[in-house]
Structure 1
């Protein structure tokens, strides 16, 4: 799923002060040292291709999982912290939605100085 990773990478790296590095064997994106997105391709054999992103908390996570179970899932390891995995393997991926979720996740992780400077 190199195409999906390339798209995720281009979305994430447009945001201010983003760094990509491998974390737990996965391409992961950080702002000011805080993880905000992780690309997963068949992570531990789960068969999914997804980008994991932060939510505002467990209530938002539950709402997204209930509202769109084909789009969102609860990712291993990150799910207990309120993260969601956004499916990027479907033929009809809504890339505007993916871009928005990645940017929102960045906002949740970014330091106040970046948000006060205008953020994204």
Structure 2
């Protein structure tokens, strides 16, 4: 299981990424684009995810992934149970969501520096 500290570690140092508190939710943004949002109870998170792959991911691993709230269905978004993933998978999901929000040049520079 991962927690908020693990999420903060996974997002730390990502160029253009920053954390905000909006209402009762901790969100991570690039500019004004939210790429990760932690639920108020810190048991799940919503994260940027290709919309065309969402149904397949939920069908393949329903214990891990679930649908966004109806108002977020139109976005490239999926929700994840934090107790169903480990730190390696968290890092992969975070990087994939972050990549959806930053210019290709920033991605190339980041992966060149890693």
- Matches for 1:70-85 after TM superposition, within 5 Å: 70-76=63-69, 77-85=71-79
Alignment of 1:51-90 (within 5 A): 51-57=45-51, 59-76=52-69, 77-90=71-84
Task: Give the unaligned 5+ runs of structure 2.
Answer: none
Residue matched to 1:10: 9
2:34 is aligned with 1:22 = no
Q: Distance in 2 between matches of 1:28 and 1:68?
A: 24
Does the aligned pair in 1 maintain the 2:49–2:76 contact within 8 Å? yes
CA distance in 1, matches of 2:37, 2:44: 8
Q: Distance in 2 between matches of 1:51 and 1:97?
A: 13
Size of the aligned set, in residue pairs, is 110
Moved over 2 A (4+): 77-80, 115-120
Q: For the aligned residues, what is the CA RMSD?
A: 2.1
Distance in 2 separating the partners of 1:29 and 1:53 = 9
Gaps of 5+ in 1: 43-47
Contact in 1 for aligned 2:45/2:82 (Cα 8 Å) = yes
TM-score, normalised by the number of residues in structure 1 = 0.78
Contact 1:61 1:84 in 2 (8 A): yes
Per the TM alignment, residue 24 of structure 1 is displaced from its structure 2 partner at its CA by 4.0
